[in-house]
Amino acid sequence: MDNFLSLKRRQKRRITREYPREYKLECVRIYVESKKGYYKISEELGVPRSTLKGWIDRYMDEIKSEEKGKKGISQVIKIFSLLFRN
Number of structural domains in the chain? 1
Structural domain including 56 reads 20-83
> Is 14 inside any structural domain?
no
> Is 11 inside any structural domain?
no
Query: Residue 75's pLDDT is what?
Result: 64
> Is 69 inside any structural domain?
yes
> Is 70 inside any structural domain?
yes
Are the CB atoms for 60 and 74 separated by under 8 Å?
no
Query: Residue 63's pLDDT is what?
Result: 74
Query: Residue 14's pLDDT is what?
Result: 61
> pLDDT under 50 in the chain at which residues?
none
pTM as predicted: 0.61
> Is 61 inside any structural domain?
yes
